[in-house]
Structure formats: C-alpha cells, structure tokens
Chains A and B, each alone.
Chain A
C-alpha cells in the first residue's frame, strides 16, 4: 500500500513570496490533515478535511494560509504572502474513520529568508 505522498520535499523562498504544497493521501482515506511543525516543537494541526469538506480550521492563519481538497482526494496548502515565522516542516496525514490512526507523509521543509 502506497503511503502519503507530499511534494516538494524542500522549498526556500523569500519573505512576502507565495508557496504551495501538495499532498496525496492513502487511497480510500476520507480524512486529511495538515500540520505545521516548527523546529523543536511537536506538530500543530492547521486544518482537517473530511472528504472535501473542512471539519476544523480554527488554527489556520486565514489571512495568509489557505487549503483546499478538491474531489476529496489530493489537497494543496498555500501561503501568501510568507513570513519568516512560517519556516517549518509542513506535514500531511490521512486516516480512515472511524479508526484514529493517522498516517503521515515525509513533510515539506519550508525555509523563508
């Protein structure tokens, strides 16, 4: 079974630029999550989708972050414009309700200069 795929693996941008990350969850997994992991901290949930609907985006900085999950499969997370404090690893995970085990992708490491 293929795991959660993410791209790109690394991205370096200047502040105020835009960036987008892509995630392809495990086939059949209805729930998809985006996490932000700042160096030295645990992952923090940004947004949770159930199929193509948003379940929880209370921690998403909506003035600059947006996410979508068209057709309930792939998802993209966008930052526009980026700030220095957005430097982090962005993790995508998926799960198959009602089971609560989440499967994580390798992450995208973003550096904002």
Chain B
C-alpha cells in the first residue's frame, strides 16, 4: 500500500541554521506530494505541494522537490527562525483526495 516515511525527530537547530527534513514515499503511480505544518495549539496548514515529478514547491522560504528517481520529497530551508518551530508532516494523495501522512517531525529552533 501507499506509505510515507519521515526522518526521526525531534530536530533541534540554532537560528539561521540550514534545515533538511527527509521524506520518502511508496506509492503506485505519481501521487501529489505535500508538506503540512502544525504550529503549537493550531490545526495543520498546507505549507507547500508538488503535483508531478521534478516540480518544486515553495512557501515562506521552504522548498521541496518531487524526485521520482529516489521517491523523495525532502523539505529544506536555508535559514530557520524561532517562529519555524512546529511539527512538520509529509503526505501524499493516494487518489480521490485521500491523504496518507508520515509520522511527523518536531522541529525546535533555539535563538
């Protein structure tokens, strides 16, 4: 079946550090891929998405590229801020808008 695997957390970085959160997937075909973010006390919000191979999604300084060769969709940001502290979820659309989520990666940024 379809599945998403994220790097184990939690991840702790200093402000202005470079961020990578790994995400790999298993799926039939080429599903749309997403990163959602959950800030403390809030619901999940869509951060970025990519709908086909080699697409790059970007938002708020975050980027992720859809790599079908490596079945990956790693999240990156060049310089993180304290306000980026949150839980990040990678997800795929397995069809008919049904999302399969990874287990989430908790990110803490220290000033």
Q: Are A48's CB and B91's CB within 8 A?
A: no
Q: Does A106 contact B (CB under 8 A)?
A: yes
Closest chain A residue to B9 by CB distance?
A40
Chain A binding surface SS class? loop
Instruction: Mark contacts of B19-32 with chain A using CB atoms, 8 A cut-off: 1 yes-contact digit, 0 otherwise.
Output: 00000000000001
B residues in contact with A106, CB < 8 Å: 41-43
Q: Are B91's CB and A42's CB within 8 A?
A: yes
Closest chain A residue to B106 by CB distance?
A40
Contact-size category for B: 20 to 34
Q: Are A4's CB and B89's CB within 8 A?
A: no
* Number of residues from A at the complex interface, CB < 8 A: 24
Q: Does B98 contact A (CB under 8 A)?
A: yes
**Contact flag A104-B97 (CB < 8 Å), given A42-B4, A42-B89, A42-B102:** no
**Which residues in B have some Cβ–Cβ distance to A below 8 Å?**
4, 32, 36, 41-46, 49, 89, 91, 93, 96-104
**Which residues in A have some Cβ–Cβ distance to B below 8 Å?**
3-4, 31, 40-45, 48, 55-56, 91, 93, 95, 97, 100-107
